[in-house]
Amino acid sequence: MVSMVEPGYRGIVTPGWVRDPLWQRAQRVPSLDLRFAANRSLRDAVTGQSLVTFTRASNATVVGPTGLIETVANDVPRFQHDPTTGACLGLLVEEQRANLKTYSDAILGANNYGIANATLTSVSISTPLGGTTASLLALNVGANTGNSIDGFNFGSGTTLANTTVYTQSIFVRMSGASVFRLRSNVTGEVFSITPSSGAPAPSGTVTAWTVQPFRDDWFRISWTFTSTTTAPGNRGDHWTIKSDVADGVGGYHVTGAQLEAGAFPTSYIPTTGTSATRSADIATITGTAFSGWYNQGQGSAFVQAAVAQPASGGNQFLFRVSDNSYNNQIAWNVQSAGGVSLATASGGAYDGVATAGTGLSANVTGQIAAAYAANDLATSLNGAAPATDATATMPSALTRADIGSDHGALNRVKAGTISRIAYWPTRLSNATLQALTA
């Protein structure tokens, strides 16, 4: 137990865990405490050392503390902020994605968009991208605001793979219009969103919506769909952004167009004439930086995180210790049904899984605490009584920890923000695990 002399009280020794509320609930000091959101750093709060190795083979964007989108260089970690409050949400970890729209910001006059019975003009206005240039979409007088293809053809010039899931997104600011309208030029579907009220339930070929508020009345609106089986060049990628007014003046400001293969939107990827790829974020702890805090026989970890798509059809690794293989590992996962689990594998097969809950929502921060020992696993989610499993063999000779991924495998890195990870080299009680996540 780490203790300290209480200032001003000679001879009175208090335990070190009084210094932090999470430590107080555990009633012990962890051997590792990564406070990504609170400290905007990879530094361990227990030792003060930089234990995490971070790589990303490209630059990338992140929402900064001012609510504007910033660009960071290769191998620089991203600490995501709430775009309206400026609060730090934690370390942003994303899989590799590409923006297939070749002109993301310079929409006006770009050759991968089409306009019908509408006008797209350049305007000077502050945008979430940190610049002052956007385009104003206004339907011509008398243009159809209903089911016609009048408007701004978002998908023009882009050929998609057959029967593949894609997500499109664009930054929108209402300018006279009150409803954001979207129509599929392939299926004829029409969807309407009042941004200030959030997104409607998905329908038709659209399987998901997101509406994310930004500063200065901007919103980032996304929609996810599966491309159709029609001829190449017309596979469900043609979506027309329409206005609910047709006076030639009112409509929306638009900027930051993105089209990516995947079932949820990721951070903005700017393009200026060709498609661009953002590489995956890889955060690891290896060598003595790992062995200094990890205990093979028993341990417990608290993870606070939000993921973009809990129901992804597969596990998403929030925190994982392994021998750099699937054969021997202990993994703190988000399950496909929105629950969380602690899973162990020893010698090549999972032999213990404790799964808790099913209600982890997309982009909503959850608190998970899970503990392991031989034949003794437990997992608690958001203050619920822990789920347990009494059939677990402890893997041996583990050498590394991965944060938000599966030893760098790109297909196991998912979009999400990790606020905090704390680890204790002992098996905390079930009551303590529940208290940590309450």
Give the per-residue pLDDT at 130: 92
Contact between residue 294 and residue 423 where contact means Cβ atoms under 8 Å apart: yes
Does pLDDT of 5 surpass 50? Answer: no
Which has the higher per-residue pLDDT, 308 or 95? 95
Does pLDDT of 317 surpass 60? Answer: yes
Does pLDDT of 312 surpass 70? Answer: no
Which has the higher per-residue pLDDT, 232 or 36? 36
Tell me how far apart the alpha carbons of residues 372 and 344 are, in angstroms, rounded to a whole number.
Answer: 9
Q: Which helix (H) or strand (E) holds 435?
A: helix 430-437
Q: What's the token pair of residue 166?
A: 């894609």
Question: On the CB side of 372, how many CA atoms lie within 13 Å of its CA?
Answer: 29
- For the segment 357-365, the average pLDDT, to the nearest whole number, is 78
Phi-psi region of 397 (alpha: psi -120 to 50; beta: other; left: phi over 0): left
Give the per-residue pLDDT at 14: 77
Contact between residue 177 and residue 243 where contact means Cβ atoms under 8 Å apart: yes
Confidence of residue 361 (pLDDT cuts 50, 70, 90): confident
Lowest mean pLDDT among 248-257, 285-294, 400-409: 400-409
Give the per-residue pLDDT at 276: 96
Confidence of residue 9 (pLDDT cuts 50, 70, 90): very low
Lowest mean pLDDT among 108-117, 191-200, 217-226, 406-415: 406-415
Tell me how far apart the alpha carbons of residues 3 and 260 are, in angstroms, rounded to a whole number.
Answer: 52
Residues contacting residue 371 through CB under 8 Å, at least 6 positions apart: 298, 299, 300, 301, 342, 377, 378, 427, 428, 430, 433
Instruction: Kindly list the distances between the CA atom of residue 345 and the CA atoms of 28, 88, 419, in Å, as whole numbers in the listed order.
Output: 28, 34, 26
Three-state SS sequence of 199-221: CCCCCCCEEEEEEEECHHHEEEE
Does pLDDT of 322 surpass 80? Answer: yes
Tell me how far apart the alpha carbons of residues 129 and 188 are, in angstroms, rounded to a whole number.
Answer: 32
Give the per-residue pLDDT at 286: 96
Which has the higher per-residue pLDDT, 109 or 85? 85
Q: What is the dihedral of CA 423, 424, 430, 432, to 10 degrees?
A: -90
- 3-class secondary structure, 423: strand
Q: What's the token pair of residue 313?
A: 């059809």
Q: Is the dihedral of CA 30, 283, 392, 397 positive or negative?
A: negative
DSSP 437: H
Confidence of residue 359 (pLDDT cuts 50, 70, 90): low
Tell me how far apart the alpha carbons of residues 416 and 378 are, in angstroms, rounded to a whole number.
Answer: 24
Does pLDDT of 12 surpass 60? Answer: no
Residues contacting residue 109 through CB under 8 Å, at least 6 positions apart: none
- For the segment 206-224, the average pLDDT, to the nearest whole number, is 93
Q: What is the dihedral of CA 328, 331, 336, 339, to 10 degrees?
A: 140
Domain 97-277: give its CATH code: 2.60.120.260
- For the segment 114-132, the average pLDDT, to the nearest whole number, is 91
Percentage with pLDDT > 90 across the chain = 56
Domain with CATH 2.60.120.200 in the chain: 14-95+281-437
Q: What's the token pair of residue 171?
A: 């930054």
Instruction: Kindly list the distances between the CA atom of residue 7 and the CA atoms of 2, 10, 16, 176, 353, in Å, as whole numbers in the listed order.
Output: 16, 8, 13, 61, 45
Give the per-residue pLDDT at 314: 60
Residues contacting residue 349 through CB under 8 Å, at least 6 positions apart: none
Averaged pLDDT of the chain: 87
Which has the higher per-residue pLDDT, 271 or 204? 271
Tell me how far apart the alpha carbons of residues 138 and 380 are, in angstroms, rounded to a whole number.
Answer: 51
Lowest mean pLDDT among 154-168, 289-303, 359-373: 154-168
Give the per-residue pLDDT at 21: 96
- For the segment 392-404, the average pLDDT, to the nearest whole number, is 91
Give the per-residue pLDDT at 190: 85
- 3-class secondary structure, 49: coil
Does pLDDT of 129 surpass 90? Answer: yes
Question: On the CB side of 243, how many CA atoms lie within 13 Å of its CA?
Answer: 32
- For the segment 192-221, the average pLDDT, to the nearest whole number, is 89
**Residue with the two structure tokens 């994303």:** 94
User: Of 412, 393, 296, whose CA–CA distance to 348 is shortest?
Assistant: 393
Number of Cβ atoms within 10 Å of the Cβ of 208 = 19
Does pLDDT of 93 surpass 50? Answer: yes
- For the segment 161-172, the average pLDDT, to the nearest whole number, is 91
Confidence of residue 49 (pLDDT cuts 50, 70, 90): very high
Please write the tens of the pLDDT for every residue from 274-285: 999 999 999 999
Give the per-residue pLDDT at 39: 97
Q: Which amino acid is at 242?
A: K
Question: On the CB side of 308, how many CA atoms lie within 13 Å of its CA?
Answer: 23
Domain with CATH 2.60.120.260 in the chain: 97-277
Q: What is the Cα Rg of the chain in Å?
A: 24
- For the segment 373-385, the average pLDDT, to the nearest whole number, is 92
Percentage with pLDDT > 70 across the chain = 89
Give the per-residue pLDDT at 78: 98
- For the segment 370-377, the average pLDDT, to the nearest whole number, is 93
Confidence of residue 111 (pLDDT cuts 50, 70, 90): low
Our CA angle for 102, 147, 186, nearest 5°, is: 50
Contact between residue 269 and residue 260 where contact means Cβ atoms under 8 Å apart: yes
Give the per-residue pLDDT at 33: 98
Tell me how far apart the alpha carbons of residues 219 and 134 are, in angstroms, rounded to a whole number.
Answer: 13
Which has the higher per-residue pLDDT, 167 or 147? 167
- For the segment 178-183, the average pLDDT, to the nearest whole number, is 90
Question: On the CB side of 295, how many CA atoms lie within 13 Å of its CA?
Answer: 18
Q: Tell me yes or no: is domain 14-95+281-437 CATH 2.60.120.200.
A: yes
